[in-house]
Amino acid sequence: MNKFFIIPRNLVFGNEAKYLISEGNALPLAGKDIGFLKFEIQCSNKTLNNIPILYSVKKQESWNTKYLNKHDINEFLKIYSYKPKTFLGLKNKKVHIMGILNLTPDSFYQNSINTSNNTKAIKKAIAMYEDGASIIDVGGESTRPGAIKVSLEEEQRRIIPVIKELSKHNIPISCDTRNSSTMQAAIDAGATIINDISALNDKNAAKIISKNNVGLIIMHMQGVPNNMQKKPLYKNVSFDIVKYLEEKKIYAIKKGIKEKNILIDPGIGFGKNDQHNLKMLRDLALLHSLKSHILIGASRKSIIGRITKTKPSERLPGSISLAIASVVKGVKFLRVHDVKETKQALTIWNQI
């Protein structure tokens, strides 16, 4: 990637987007249902201005910048028009909810813990699916800040029976794991997606995912859960995350994983302070340059708590706010604890 990069701004939606794109007043963002009227240029080492300079996509005469020439700007802008292929048969036009099923005793959100009884966990998963989740994400290892890694045997003991039972209900299942042996066991049990916070750090992970032709979620994380929040540092967090995800995606494809089977996740709260998280959320449209659908998992996270001084049990409004703010930037996949409430918010947003 170049030293300078472009971020779409001033987004428009639906019929308005289609009209403005057809008139040449906007450019498409990941298809024609979203358009952008302006863009910002940033540097890989820093933000160029406290108050960003916005350039109109229509007025190319305003593109005389010291950062990029018109040809380079046009090449950047073309990338954003790419419409990602359908992920595992899930419709592109819809925003898809991934319901979180925690099978860990040490989750940061105690209300989401489902370790006491597999039958209750399965009922909860089915209820989330009926409430509007497209995918159920099953995890047996906590990855909250400071979490200690559990043994493979314990992780699999927690999740495999539940995945086996859920697969009988034809519910799309994602397994939240960074361990290749757990990935294979979960796939054998019926999981069709691997949600890997380590982005294929296990040397056998890519081979297993490719061989089984399942979906992959590649997430950005600086460090590991046990130390990731100890002074995270970036030159330009948005650029650094995109570069990391780009490299990981290239690696995945080289290992035989199909591009259409990949989602990307900037990893809100994973090796980032609040300012890093907020900047990445503001710059989310940048991720469309990677030509993949985007997943955001910000549900009930500590950034909401620090900003609003609330406990995890009190962070539903903030979670929904972050979900809608992500959808506004073209995000199609949301990983959440509260499926019914998020679904209702999305229904209203879509009507607007």
Catalytic residue among 178, 248, 301, 329: 301
Buried b (16+ CB within 10 A) or exposed e, 291-330: bbbbbbbbbbbbbbbeeeeeebeebbebbbebbbebbebb
- Type and span of the H or E element at 265: strand 262-265
Task: Please report, for residues 122, 133, 161, 188, 298, the alpha-carbon distance to residue 119 in angstroms, rounded to integers and kept in the order given.
Answer: 5, 19, 10, 20, 27
Percentage helix, strand, coil for the chain under 3-state DSSP, each rounded to 5: 40, 20, 40
Q: Which two tokens stand for residue 103?
A: 């099978």
Q: Give Cα 148 to chain centroid, integer Å.
A: 23
Q: β-pairing, 333-336 with 293-296?
A: parallel
Q: Looking at this protein, which amino acid is placed at residue 182?
A: T
Integer Cα distance of 161 and 211 in angstroms: 23
Catalytic residue among 158, 249, 291, 335: 335
Establish whether 254 is a catalytic residue: no
Q: Looking at this protein, which amino acid is placed at residue 11?
A: L
Integer Cα distance of 155 and 115 in angstroms: 12
Number of residues that this document lists for the chain: 352
* Residue 215, SS3 per DSSP: strand
Establish whether 335 is a catalytic residue: yes
Contact between 35 and 28 under an 8 Å Cβ cutoff? The reply is: yes
- Type and span of the H or E element at 277: helix 274-282
Using CA atoms of 212, 218, 224, 226 in order, give the dihedral in degrees to the nearest 10. -80
Q: Supply the residues annotated as catalytic.
A: 301, 335
